[in-house]
Amino acid sequence: MLQGFYYSRLIQQALPYVDAARTAIWGWSYGGYAAGMALATDTDGVFKCGISVAPVTDWALYGNTFDLHRRFMGLPTADDNWSGYLAAQLVTKYEGLRDKEYFLIHGTYDDNVHYQQSMLWSKVLEQNDILFRQQSYPDQDHGLALVRPHLYHSLESFLDECFISDA
């Protein structure tokens, strides 16, 4: 994550047409996790707003023992790498979103990153009075293929609102 902040800041400083006050981050699936984590841990104000589509928010709840991430992270047990799983949880990083604009999107029929991940994250944000926007797509899977026009219009609307508030 730190390299991402570093390079984002370099781009903001090096390119005159990049407005450092209007920089967003977004991602889907692992990218949704990375976008949420980057936004939540950004203490230098690199990103004003962010979007997570179908993010993993708690790796211990993702997949099964044969998934690729288990090869790198091990198992979520005290004997293996429980501390690594705790450190990688997005659901514990909510405070970093307090002063940022955040949009969470997920399909309810996602069989890759289960909808439970976003509902857990939503609950944490709500319990800690973190304001955010949320869009659920009923009966849509991980790819959200049948609602792409609506999805992209929603992303565009969110970014317009995020950046126009500074105009």
Q: Which of 8, 110, 114, 118 is catalytic?
A: 110
Q: Which of 69, 122, 136, 142 is catalytic?
A: 142
Question: What is the widest separation between alpha-carbon atoms in the chain?
Answer: 53
165 is catalytic: no
110 is catalytic: yes
Q: Which of 29, 122, 136, 154 is catalytic?
A: 29
Rounded CA-CA distance 110/125 in Å is 21
8 is catalytic: no
Give the active site residues. 29, 110, 142
